[in-house]
Structure 1
Amino acid sequence: MESTTLLNGKFSFKVLNNGSLDKTKVICRDCQSEFSYHRSTSTLKYHLMAKHPAGDSSQPPQRQQTLDAFRSRQMDNATKNQLTAAIAKWLATSCRPISLVEDEGLTEIIRIASKDSLYEAPSRATIMDRIDTLYSTERAAVKDKLEQAEAVSLTGDYWTSVSNDNYLGVTAHYFTRQWELQSHALTVMKTEERHFADNVVDHFMTVAREWGIEEKVASLTTDSARNMVAAARQLPFEHVPCVAHSVHRAVTVSLHNSPFDSALAKCRKLVGHFKHSPANASELKQQQAAHHQKQEALTQEVPTRWNSTLEMVKRVHRNIKPLRDALALHPTRIPMPTAAELEKTKKLETALEHCRYVSDLLGGEMYVSCSVVLPALCHLSRVMDATEDDPAYMVKFKATFKADMDGRKDKYNTTWLRIATALDPRFKDLKCLTKPDRVQVWNSIRTLLMEMQRPAELDDTPEPAKKKPALMLADESSSDEEEDSVERCIDRYKAEPMINLDDSPQEWWSTHAASHRELAILARRYLSTPATSVPSERLFSLSGHVVQKRRASLSPENVNRLVCLSNWLKAKK
């Protein structure tokens, strides 16, 4: 039987004059009020709660919300503090503008997530205070780690911001007691003076003194700019030129006025045609899809960007058919490389892949790279030897490349690099060196070990600091007992099995340092040296997210704080 009532008989359908029921109208049985009904009882329930609360049995009686109950829906202070700290850490780590806290969208998102409709984001001043506190905490932690380090290596380079300010970026590298290789930014310091050698010396010494590591710095890795090389002669620690810069420079010299000029010029024009026109780029993507290829943009060659020539050539080769079809849609004067030119660039690509491999191998921060320099250059020299199958243009390229690299050997700190290679259990056989050079390396290590064992003479007048490898040239008498002890130390190390190339030298030293204590001290000093100045250059990439056109008025102190703090926080992840 069809029901004539709703809500447990509280409402009934309206009865028409002919005796039928109007299912669109209902009557309240308590007050005879008439309501429209469209299959929803929300209005009817509201009427019962408002007018007949005592008789409403469908829901428990409602009371007016108290102030305490209202407050319970708001975020508590502890959660607010945690959220403020998280926002400050997020902005510092990702180098976001502080003004983001004033964005209404961020506040709305937090209100929805927290279900606190009255939440207000912290002010810019509050976030800056939190960032300052976070910076002080992280800086103290980094300084404490540097105090515990036995030897520290630095990298450094200069950079100009969008506001035309000069900055010096410096990073520190060292082994912890557990032989973990650590890397930290020390400063992104604004410099006012011209970068003459004397000023460069003052800048680096200021950074070392500020962090209390003046006596611990073993080496400084920079590019081979003349002012850097001249400054290195005056600094009390060793200078290691960036090898990756040398490899890139050798590639640039070898390609200048080479048989590849015509093919590379066509590749540049081809890339420019599709890079500088959205319509042309869209047509290329359509052709890539038609050929069932990955939709990717072409890469423009940039003279100062490492391996950009290689990447340009590779992408042109991968997309040669889509490029042809895209150009055919609208005939232009852009020429495609001929089959012979493509063959040339294919052989060039093979050679440049070895250069990219060496650059990537030497550019890391969290693994040992200094000891890899000489084996990597030896490998590069072998693959650049001309073969009988090489055409004349490849013979010329390889010869020019090898001649340029050989001409730069005198600029490398080969003494430092050779000792680092010997102290790496992957390369201690020194196969990358000639036999006379191997003997000389072990003799140098003997001299260093004997100098370590010889007690320092007490003298009230301190002598000027000497560069560490100068000790290898010391010609002082030593006792037979010292020589025997040193010889046994070296022999024990040589007798240890070599490890694979993929194994970690710091892991080997972490388990063998106790049995090779003297050599372990040297290993901490030499193996922590980066092979390139890339770590300090990465600071400039990070700085680019901070010193933008919208934030060009940032003070140098805030630039330094934000960049360093971001580096430290990312290193902890």
Structure 2
Amino acid sequence: MEDSDETALFGVLGGKFLFKKLPDGGVNKRVVMCIFCQKEFAYHRSSSTLRYHLNAKHLAHSKDAATAIGGAGRQQSKQLDNETGFRPRTSPSTSEKLANPLAMWIALDCRPLSVVEDKGLENALKIATCDPTLKLPSKNTISAIIQQLYDTEKVAKLDALEKAQFVALTGDHWTTVRNANYIGVTAHIAAVTDGTWHFQSFVLTVLETDSRHNAENCAERFLSVAVMWGIRQKITTIGTDSTRTAIAAARHLPFQHSPCIAHILHRTITVSLAECGFNGVLAKCHKIAGHFQHGPDNMEEELPRKQSRPGQENEELIRDVSMRWNSTLDMISCLLKSQEAFASLHNQEHNQDTLTLTEVLQLQNLTTVLEPCRFVTELLGGETYVPCSVVLPALCHLRHTMEVSGSDSNDAVKFKTVFKKEFTQCAATLNHEWLKVATVLDPRFKDLKCLAREEREEVWSRLEALLQEQCKRTIMKEPAKKKRLLLCSFDSDSDSDEEERWRRALNLYRVESTISETDCPFQWWSSRVGTHSQLSVLARKYLSSPATSVPCERLFSLAGHIVTKKRAALSSENVNRLVCLSNWLKERENK
């Protein structure tokens, strides 16, 4: 390659390498120096070595002209090619760094693997990395990383279950868009880390089922999941909805059954509304709300115009959905707030019936009796973990609030009567014995004010029997030498002394003060393990059982984002892997 006068003046490769200056002011055209690191290179009219150095050591500087992908960025990239004679390439380390975050993003947010083939994503990452030659990892690479993530997280969950002393399960069934039936099972444990109790809830499996949905098959599926994860001997309760099949399946299982109180409450409200004759007015409310949701003109132009008056905010109308809790109350509340805005719906333009004054009063009375149900439903079905010890206090609050709330109108009285009768029948399926013991072990409700006075001593007697059984079981599990020391520490082997010892331990817990309802019972027990060693074991057992089966409901909401119409052909193994991994990663991030 011949050196021109311009090359001698400005150096090599667009001025990125300059000729070495001599002491007399001249230049040595056989030695060049990098302007970025001041390293010297022998120059024999070939710039190959210089290109390699620029690509390996100063790639960021060489890409200054290629910071954009389109328009001027492409022109500057061509200018860079002319100056250096090469296009920058993504190093292997950069490709690996991109593959892992992409796999985490796909698994965490339930994105399809084909997203790595999207040109829009590739262009966005080219701009972010300032690399016009960037190539995204293939689907096979991402799939392998996701499989490795699943295996790693599964080992962590197996370790947590192995360390847990008690495990509570919740389960539910779900049908995909291609009519495939799945059963989802979630585990709940009270884990101990550095002496501190904390609650963990994570999915175990989403298992496709081919057999009929009857009680025997449902029970068999729960047992197969328990055996698969090695927790059959640790299971305390299994929480499900209150359907007949779930209740019948629980009779075939050797575990305690915990029906979902939120499902029972929702069913009671639905039956009460139908029997009290509210279906007609609710159907009219549904029709009015549907009118404004029927077209974009009605929603975006007519509704704000009818709601526009001083001091009133525009309300977005809601229609009730049979499977959505509190949706009926939300629909009524929105319509009542904007009832004056719908007074003109009966005109010739729409021919739409409006609510009469009698119907408005009827809805107002219905709202007052439904508000307590909303409070209990949101309390038991919230985002945070709610132990089963909250169920009885919440139901006591519901009964008291419903009695004192609302007017004495015929509609309100009739609804309360039907609601009380229906709820009493549905609540008979609850595991009251388990709920009572869990309530007395919760330091927030240990005074048992939610129960009648004659029932409270029976609960304490039951707890004393459980404590005695727990102490005996602990002694039998100890080695022979330690067992003798424990027996000697009783000062006597008589049954009366042992009974007195357990009674003293129980009385020590009874004199403890109750804590605020906003405090965490797990933190209270973790700070008093030394004082109430045996009772703390029972507390961990009973308080780890959740109040509802809402975790499984959310699990299938997550699965609905994975098994869509475009991804209906996913195999059951991939569905299980993606649902579980997304749940595990979110659970890890929320710690």
RMSD of Structure 2 on Structure 1 (CA): 2.5
Of 123, 147, 152, 1:137 maps to 152
Distance 1:321 1:376 in 2: 36
In 2, the alpha carbon distance for the partners of 1:322 and 1:228 equals 46
Q: Indicate how the Cα distance of structure 1 residues 443 and 321 shifts in structure 2: closer, same or farther if over 3 A, else same.
A: same
Give the conservation status (yes or no) of the 8 Å contact 2:95–2:137: no
SS of the aligned residue for 1:180 comes to strand
Residue 308 (str. 1) matches residue 327 (str. 2): yes
SS of the residue aligned with 1:66? helix
8 A contact 1:386–1:398 mirrored in 2: no
Q: 2:183 touches 2:209 (CA, 8 Å); kept in 1?
A: yes
Alignment of 1:489-508 (within 5 A): 489-508=505-524
Give 1:211-250 correspondences, 5 Å limit: 211-250=229-268
CA deviation map 1:335-380 (0-9, x unaligned)? 1212332222122222212111111111246433300111111111
CA distance in 1, matches of 2:10, 2:397: 89
Question: What is the correspondence of 1:18-417 to structure 2 with a 5 Å cutoff?
Answer: 52-54=6-8, 61=15, 66-71=51-56, 72=59, 73-177=88-192, 178-287=196-305, 290-291=308-309, 293-324=312-343, 327=345, 331-364=349-382, 366-385=384-403, 389-417=407-435
Whole-Å separation in 1 of the counterparts to 2:384 and 2:95: 36
Q: Secondary structure at the match of 1:553?
A: coil
* Residue identity matched to 1:271: A
8 Å CA contact retained: 1:386, 1:395: no
Contact residue 169 and residue 187 of structure 1 kept, 8 A: yes
Residues in 2 aligned to 1:172 and 1:522: alpha-carbon distance in whole angstroms: 18
Q: CA deviation at 1:51?
A: 7.2
Seen in structure 2, the aligned counterparts of structure 1 residues 117 and 432 have a Cα distance that, compared at 3 Å, is: same
Per-residue CA distance 1:129-154 (angstroms, 9 max, x = gap): 00000000011111111111111100
- The 1:288–1:419 alpha-carbon spacing in structure 2 relative to 1, beyond 3 Å, is farther
**2:562 counterpart of 1:546:** yes
Alignment correspondent of 1:436: 454
Closer, same or farther: CA 388–184 of 1 in aligned 2, 3 Å: closer
Deviates more, 1:387-396 or 1:290-299: 290-299
Cα distance in 2 for residues equivalent to 1:544 and 1:383: 37
Query: Is the contact made by 1:188 and 1:563 (CA closer than 8 Å) also made in structure 2?
Result: yes
For 2:400 and 2:202, the matched residues in 1 are separated by 35
Q: CA deviation at 1:490?
A: 1.1
Question: Quick check: 1:182–1:366 contact (8 Å CA) kept in 2?
Answer: no
Query: Does the C-alpha gap of structure 1 residues 485 and 78 become closer, same or farther in structure 2, counting only changes over 3 Å?
Result: farther
- Residue pair 1:425, 1:508 contacting (<8 A) in 2 also: yes
Question: Which whole-Å deviations, capped at 9, do the CAs of 1:446-488 have from their partners, x for residues lacking one?
Answer: 11111112249999xxxxxxxxxxxxxxxxx981122112111
Whether the 8 Å contact between 2:184 and 2:555 is mirrored in structure 1 is: yes
Work out whether residues 386 and 399 of structure 1, in 8 Å CA contact, stay in contact via their aligned partners in 2.
no
Contact 2:387/2:545 (<8 A) preserved: yes
Correspondence for 2:70: none
Q: What amino acid is the match of 2:215?
A: A
Q: Distance in 2 between matches of 1:317 and 1:508?
A: 44
Shift in Å at residue 284 of structure 1?
Answer: 3.8
Alignment of 1:467-546 (within 5 A): 479-546=495-562
Helix, strand or coil at the partner of 1:539: helix
Q: Provide Cα deviations, 1:375-430, integer angstroms capped at 9, x if missing partner.
A: 11111111222679411110000111111111223211000000000000010010
Q: Residues 368 and 505 of structure 1 are in contact (CA less than 8 Å); yes or no, is this contact kept in structure 2?
A: no
Please give the alpha-carbon distance, in whole angstroms, between the structure 1 residues aligned to 2:205 and 2:286.
38
After superposing on structure 2, the runs of 4+ consecutive aligned residues of structure 1 that deviate more than 6 Å are 456-459
Q: TM-score, normalised by structure 1?
A: 0.84
- 8 Å Cα contact 1:259-1:393 kept in structure 2: no
Task: Give the 3 Å change call, closer, same or farther, for CA 257–198 of structure 1 in structure 2.
Answer: closer
Query: Corresponding residue for 2:29?
Result: none
Letter in 2 for 1:67: Y
Distance 1:565 1:478, change over 3 A: farther
Give the conservation status (yes or no) of the 8 Å contact 1:107–1:121.
yes
1:136-177 Cα distance to aligned partner (Å, 9 max, x none): 001111111111111110000101000100000110001111
| Contact 2:389/2:442 (<8 A) preserved | yes
Aligned to 1:569: 585
Cα pair 2:439 2:448 within 8 Å, conserved: yes
Output the amino acid matched with 1:507.
Q
Cα distance in 2 for partners of 1:393, 1:304 equals 24
Distance 1:507 1:396 in 2: 44
* Aligned position for 1:466: none
- C-alpha change, 1:478 and 1:402, in structure 2 (3 Å) is farther
CA contact (8 A) 1:152 1:217 kept: yes
2:164, 2:191 within 8 Å by CA — same for their partners in 1? yes
When normalised by structure 2's length, the TM-score is 0.81
CA contact 2:317–2:335 (8 Å) conserved in 1: yes
In 2: Cα distance, 1:331 partner to 1:302 partner? 28
Q: Which runs of 5+ in 2 are unaligned?
A: 18-46, 60-87, 478-492
Counterpart-to-counterpart distance in 2, 1:446 and 1:247 = 32
| Cα shift at 1:289 | 7.0
Aligned-pair distance for 1:62? 5.5
Residue 443 of structure 1 deviates from its aligned partner by 1.0
Aligned residue for 1:450, secondary structure, equals helix
Deviation at 1:540, TM superposition (A): 0.7
CA distance in 1, matches of 2:503, 2:548: 33
Distance 1:390 1:133, change over 3 A: same
Corresponding residue for residue 484 of structure 2: none
User: Are the aligned partners of 1:157 and 1:169 in contact in 2 as well (CA < 8 Å)?
Assistant: yes
Give the Cα separation in 1 of the matches to 2:279 and 2:209: 40
Distance 1:166 1:366 in 2: 28
Assess, with a 3 A threshold, how the Cα gap between structure 1 residues 451 and 335 changes in structure 2: closer, same or farther: same
Shift of 1:330: 6.4
Stretch of structure 1 that moved more, 383-392 or 337-346: 383-392
Cα distance in 1 for partners of 2:569, 2:144 equals 19
Q: Which amino acid aligns with 2:441?
A: L
By how many angstroms is 1:328 displaced? 7.3
SS at the partner of 2:569? coil
SS of the residue corresponding to residue 242 of structure 2 reads coil
Residue type matched to 1:232 in 2?
Answer: A
- Paired with 1:108 and 1:60, the residues of 2 have a C-alpha distance of 28
Secondary structure (helix, strand or coil) at the match of 2:168 reads strand
- Do the aligned partners of 2:237 and 2:258 also contact (CA within 8 Å) in 1? yes
Q: Following the alignment from structure 2 to structure 1, what is the Cα–Cα distance between the partners of residues 251 and 317?
A: 44
The answer to whether the Cα contact below 8 Å between 2:365 and 2:411 also exists between their aligned partners in 1 is no
Tell me the number of residue pairs that the alignment of Structure 1 and Structure 2 aligns: 506
Note if contact 2:90-2:134 (Cα within 8 Å) is conserved in structure 1: yes
